[in-house]
Amino acid sequence: MASIDPKYSIGIAEMDAQHARWIQYIDEFRATASGHLLEPAGVDAALHTLEQLLNYTRMHFASEERFIETHHYPDLEAHRHAHRELEAEVVKLLDEIRSHKTRTAPLKLNLFVTVWLMQHIMQEDDKYARFILGRSPPG
């Protein structure tokens, strides 16, 4: 199982493990997207890693939504909405790369992933974690 960088840990083992794997997919995409998007092979590689990232993102979000629903997280609907928006952004990016609109802006692709996906863990996911852990009995 992948281990999480402590700065991204929300303190819930099951979700930390998924986030660790998710971050690996993000890193793989960043590595390809920062490379050779002016060459067809580079575009194909970026598309491939982004498709993998999208698949894992959907799996993780569905799993996380079930998890926080089980724990009666009061902001479940807002969290679901944030997930749908992030998924839509990833799909949009996939479409843009497919249509070669963004091949000249690899740096922007890196920032997109870093800012939107990673911030979601540290801000929104951390909120439900604090709620759930706060409700846990001591010890």
In the complex, the residues that contact Fe ion under the rule CB under 5 A are: 64, 125
Least distance between Fe ion and beta carbon 82 (Å): 7
For Fe ion, the closer of residues 30 and 124 by Cβ is: 124
- CA-based nearest residue to 69, from 13, 20, 121, 132: 132
Least distance between Fe ion and beta carbon 128 (Å): 7
- CA-based nearest residue to 21, from 33, 34, 8, 35: 8
Yes or no: say if 47 and 93 are a contact pair by the CB < 8 Å rule. no
Least distance between Fe ion and beta carbon 20 (Å): 11
For Fe ion, the closer of residues 32 and 125 by Cβ is: 125
For Fe ion, the closer of residues 64 and 113 by Cβ is: 64
Least distance between Fe ion and beta carbon 22 (Å): 7
The tokens of 2 are what? 């992948």
Q: How many CA atoms lie within 13 A of 71 on its CB side?
A: 19
For Fe ion, the closer of residues 49 and 57 by Cβ is: 57
